[in-house]
Amino acid sequence: GTLVPYGNTEPDEVREGFERQIASLVAAGVDAITIETMIDLAEAKLAVRAARNVSVSIPVMATMTFDVLPRGAYTIMGNDVETTASVLLDEGANVVGSNCGNGTESVLTIAREFRRVTDAPLLFQPNAGLPRIEAGLTVFDETPEQMAARASEFADLGVAVLGGCCGTTPEHIRALRSALS
């Protein structure tokens, strides 16, 4: 047989699981739904659809994790930026973009690809570089200053939301905010 991203779980069951989670969040009064770190467009599409089934008015942000390859940025499931943006926006996402898996330089490359294919609001959350293990600890080498030095390039692309993912600290976010103010 063929294994699909859901294993033996049917897509409707996955969507219903997302709906239960999202309904709880909406009932608790969240301001927005962020669907992030997705690697499979089919699953991300189900999550966005679930959010829209729960609420047509709550802002929905959907981001996926990409690898930057010579032929462009792709998820490990083979989803390209153009298709990803189109599908997620068509499903009802208000904001699309990428998070995790890359430091600032690679996420800027991904951001440029997104901006080439859509005028929609964009969200990006780079890691503080790529992780490495040192003395049994996970270490990220990109400093707040290094990340902040590239913030204006995201702003020049019209990125609506800029944050940080793995390895970022409150100092990284403060540095980004300071660089953009």
Instruction: Please tell me the predicted confidence (pLDDT) of residue 5.
Output: 54
Q: Where are the domains of the chain?
A: 11-180
Q: What is the pLDDT of residues 103-135, one digit of tens each?
A: 999 999 999 999 999 999 999 999 999 999 999
Instruction: Please tell me the predicted confidence (pLDDT) of residue 133.
Output: 97
In single-letter form, the type of residue at position 124 comes to: F
The structure's pTM equals 0.92
For CA atoms 75, 131, 105, 91, give the dihedral sign. positive
Q: Check pLDDT > 80 for residue 4.
A: no
SS3 73: strand
Contact 140, 166 (CB under 8 A): yes
Domain 11-180, what architecture? Answer: Alpha-Beta Barrel (3.20)
Instruction: Please tell me the predicted confidence (pLDDT) of residue 8.
Output: 78
Q: What is the pLDDT of residues 123-171, one digit of tens each?
A: 999 999 999 999 999 999 999 999 999 999 999 999 999 999 999 999 9
Instruction: Please tell me the predicted confidence (pLDDT) of residue 84.
Output: 99
Instruction: Please tell me the predicted confidence (pLDDT) of residue 41.
Output: 97
- Of residues 10 and 36, more confidence is placed in 36
Angle of helix 41-54 relative to helix 81-91, nearest 10 degrees, comes to 20
Q: Which residues contact 50 (CB under 8 A, 6 or more apart)?
A: 15, 16, 18, 19, 22
Instruction: Please tell me the predicted confidence (pLDDT) of residue 9.
Output: 84
pLDDT band for position 3 (50/70/90)? Answer: very low
Q: Token digits for 47?
A: 């999550």
> CA 59, CA 33: separation in Å to the nearest integer?
6
Averaged pLDDT of the chain: 95
Bridging pattern class, strands 60-64 and 95-99: parallel
